Amino acid sequence: MPSVVLVGAQWGDEGKGKITDYLAEKADVVVRYQGGNNAGHTVVVGDQEFKLHLIPSGILYPGTTCIIGNGVVIDPKVLVKELEYLKSRGIDTGNLRISDRAHLIMPYHIRLDQLEEERKGANKIGTTRKGIGPAYMDKSARVGIRVVDLLDKEEFAQKLKANLDNKNNLLERVYEEKGFDFQEIYDEYLGYAEKIKNLVADTSIIIHDAIVAGKNVLFEGAQGTLLDLDHGTFPFVTSSHPVAGAACIGAGVGPTDISKVIGVVKAYTTRVGEGPFPTELKDEMGDLIRNIGHEFGTTTGRPRRCGWLDCVILRYAARVSGLDSIAITKLDVLDNIEKIKICVGYKYNGTELKDFPSSLKVLAQCQPVYEELDGWMEDTSQARKFEDLSINAQKYINRISEIIGVKTAIIAVGPKREQTIVLEKIFENR
């Protein structure tokens, strides 16, 4: 039975939530392994829409164990709210487990994220302002507070005091802001501890046991390849590793435990936040795609920047995550476009670049080299088999796979579960 890593191949919002939910019907365990509530994964079941930020998208199936792994940064306030939200919508969250090693997002992380963005002004990253970067900074600096600490009152008090000494100093002296009150945070956070303590576990053991027992395990990536701290468009990235390799570190399993990697690819490209975007469409076509695709952030509500599909990015994502196959989503959004472009390379300084550059200065000057394909001008949202798609839609899919050298396993033609075409099964019957 496979353990499958599912990653975003672009700048996030590829439809990872929808594909995870689809596959989760056959998954025994679904694991989030990085990021935090900067993620916004939308899942549509029947006429109900669920927006998840921290809890894996497998939670909508009662029999699936869902895990928030050690690599995730957890804002317990958001977690408790999300648990309540799901309960209020009739979803049982008893199968959720939270890693005792995951780091916590504290109120000062959120404030510092906001203050840094304001300080940077025009050079801002365009973060979600949820405290993600500062929380990962504290983890790297070895001063972060973990879930296991939160469950130990003395340990928590001592770590919170030490952190507040430092953070209040920074807030007051550098940013000329008011610091945070120890007692307020302490009481608030112990309240969250009470609500989540029964869900806390050494989750690496649960995942390992499931793999050993031959169960289906699905690792649900957040963000996307180009937001990766190492492989993305640095510094316009997030502070974690959305690439497939991070599933091992963020869940506590070894590389030999992973049997397949699927890249989720939106049929066009979007990006939220700042940074270069070679195939961006700043014209009516971009507006059209944004409106038809409802490209507005799940987490921040910001309009997403839209552009043509970029296969330079996809080839790069295929390499750095070792993609076995791709799931192409939102094909239906392109249904009424007469001529569709695919970027197959970049022109830079008179030469053609085949590979994604590391320098943002170079990337910002890259001109996309396009191939133009005829649109299909037909409703694809009812298609359930590859053969149901018109020839031009099939050609679009086949051309993407051909250019990037990775087969297509799944095609999504709408947000609902049933609006999914399977070309190659990932799990048994799925």
Catalytic residues: 13, 41
Per-residue mark of binding to ligand GDP, 248-287 (x: CB under 6 A): ----------------------------------------
Q: Is residue 414 close enough to count as binding ligand GDP by CB under 6 A?
A: yes
CA atoms of 41 and 55, how far apart (whole Å): 9
> In this complex, which beta carbon is closest to ligand GDP, that of residue 72 or of residue 211?
72
What stretches of 208-353 adopt beta strand conformation (E)?
217-220, 260-266, 269-271, 305-307, 309-310, 325-329, 339-348, 351-353
Q: Which of residues 40-69 bind ligand GDP (CB under 6 A)?
A: 40-42, 44
- Name the token pair of 203: 């989750």
Q: Give whichever of 224 and 278 is closer to ligand IMO, judged by the CB atom.
A: 224
Quick one: 3 or 37, whose CB is closer to ligand GDP? 37
Q: How far apart are CA 79 and CA 398, in angstroms?
A: 41
Site string for ligand IMO, 292-331 (x = CB under 6 A): ------x---------------------------------
CA distance 64 to 414: 24
The distance of closest approach from Cβ of residue 91 to Mg ion in the complex, given in angstroms and rounded to an integer, is 19
DSSP for 149-172, please give it: HHTSHHHHHHHHHHHHHHHHHHHH
Cβ atoms of 325 and 408 within 8 Å: the answer is yes
Position 330 contacts ligand GDP (CB under 6 A): yes
Asked if residue 40 binds ligand IMO (CB under 6 A), the reply is yes
Spatial CB neighbours of 272, under 8 Å, sequence gap ≥ 6: 11, 12, 13, 126, 297, 300, 302, 304, 305
* Strand pairing report for 339-348 and 351-353: antiparallel
Picking from 244, 331, 239, 266, the residue whose alpha carbon sits closest to that of residue 13 is 266
Stretch that binds ligand IMO, among 33-41, 193-201, 318-326, 347-355 (CB under 6 A): 33-41
Q: Which is nearer to ligand IMO, 223 or 420 (CB)?
A: 223
Whose CA is closest to 386, among 342, 341, 338, 423?
423
13, 138, 220, 310: residue in contact with ligand IMO (rule CB under 6 A): 13
Question: What secondary structure letter does DSSP report for 122?
Answer: G
DSSP-assigned letters across all residues of 53-77? SSS-GGGGSTT-EEEE-TTBEE-HH
Site string for ligand IMO, 128-147 (x = CB under 6 A): x-x-xx--------------
Please tell me the distance from the alpha carbon of residue 206 to that of residue 212, in angstroms, as a whole number: 10
| Pick 216 or 298: Cβ nearer Mg ion | 298
> Which single residue brings its beta carbon nearest to ligand IMO?
273
Rounded to a whole number of angstroms, the distance between the first and last alpha carbons of the chain is 12
Q: How many CA atoms lie within 13 A of 245 on its CB side?
A: 13
Q: Does 160 bind ligand IMO (CB under 6 A)?
A: no
Q: Which of residues 209-228 bind ligand IMO (CB under 6 A)?
A: 222-224, 227
| Per-residue binding letters, 222-261, with ligand IMO (x by CB under 6 A) | xxx--x--------x-xx----------------------
Q: Is 38 in the site for ligand IMO (CB under 6 A)?
A: yes
Is 327 near ligand GDP (CB under 6 A)?
Answer: no
Task: Determine the Cα–Cα distance for residues 135 and 286; give it in Å rounded to an integer.
Answer: 34
Q: Which does 132 bind (CB under 5 to 8 A by kind): Mg ion, ligand IMO, ligand GDP, none?
A: ligand IMO
Q: What is the CA radius of gyration of the chain?
A: 21
Strand partners, 108: none
Smallest gap from residue 13 Cβ to ligand GDP (A): 4
- Which of Mg ion, ligand GDP, ligand IMO, none lies near 159, with the C-beta cut-off 5 to 8 A by kind? none
- Binding region for ligand GDP (CB under 6 A): 8, 12-18, 40-42, 44, 298, 329-330, 332-333, 412-415
Q: Which positions touch ligand IMO (CB under 6 A)?
A: 8, 11-13, 38-41, 125-128, 130, 132-133, 222-224, 227, 236, 238-239, 272-273, 298
